[in-house]
Amino acid sequence: MDLTRELRNRIPNALHRAVELAQHAREASALDTDHAFGPTRWKQQYESLHEHLRDLPEVTDVHPPGTQVRVTICCGHLLLPWMYGRRSGVDMRNATGPLKSQLIRDLLVLFGPKPGYDEPTLPDMPLTPDEARDRTLLREAIEQLTPQPKVLLIGFACNSGEGLLGVSWGEAALAQGRKLDWGPVEELFQLRPAPSAAPSLG
């Protein structure tokens, strides 16, 4: 079995299913907002990923302490689904704003690569909340399964109307301001706009 090829095929399918379930939750809520879509999508992006990958070799999962999700681990890589946008055609490396997910930030601090440029801290400056966090239990839970894991971000774009719009995976370091310093990235799926109709000659 070509494991990498299987992952390239299955990961977009898993996220498609997660977004589809979130769309169903929005429809069932009868609300004209995404209050049901967002929380369902967030939970299902982890669950669906594991459901689609669990029969592959070297796949296991871990419930990080204090969280409601399980993180899939494949060949020593923590597979972290992350919604980076709501429209198609956007490279996840160009996603703006700080990384909001506390779990992903924690795992990048513990097991991610170091940023290419790390702004020096001035003497006597207080620690930021991210710097001051105690991640001992999280580290121990992960290292019981894989001593030196790597972090692989599974970025995707979606919205409640159009569904899944794009999927990429790649490596990134957590830099100053909760921004991502990107390494290698590969696109796995992109929903292309429908071609415009040819003009009528009649």
Least Cα distance to 54 among 5, 2, 108, 11 occurs for: 11
How confident is the model over 139-155, as pLDDT tens digits? Answer: 999 999 998 899 999 99
Distance CA 141, CA 160 (A): 34
Q: Is residue 199 part of a domain?
A: no
Q: Is residue 196 part of a domain?
A: no
In the prediction, which pLDDT does 200 show?
45
How confident is the model over 79-102, as pLDDT tens digits? Answer: 999 999 999 998 999 998 899 999
Contact criterion met (CB below 8 Å) for 112 and 173: yes
- Overall domain count for the chain: 1
Lookup: tokens for 127 = 């620690």
In the prediction, which pLDDT does 159 show?
97
In the prediction, which pLDDT does 115 show?
87
In the prediction, which pLDDT does 134 show?
93
In the prediction, which pLDDT does 193 show?
63
Which residues neighbour 183 within 8 Å (Cβ) at sequence distance 6 or greater?
A: 113, 170, 171, 172, 173
In the prediction, which pLDDT does 131 show?
72
Distance of CA 29 to the CA centre of its chain: 25
Q: Is residue 182 part of a domain?
A: yes
Q: Is residue 17 part of a domain?
A: yes
Q: Is residue 94 part of a domain?
A: yes
Side-chain half-sphere exposure of 157, counting CA atoms within 13 A? 21
In the prediction, which pLDDT does 113 show?
94
In the prediction, which pLDDT does 122 show?
54
Q: Is residue 200 part of a domain?
A: no
Instruction: Flag residues of the chain having pLDDT under 50.
Output: 197-202
Q: Is residue 78 part of a domain?
A: yes
Task: Note down the domain range covering 75.
Answer: 3-114+128-190
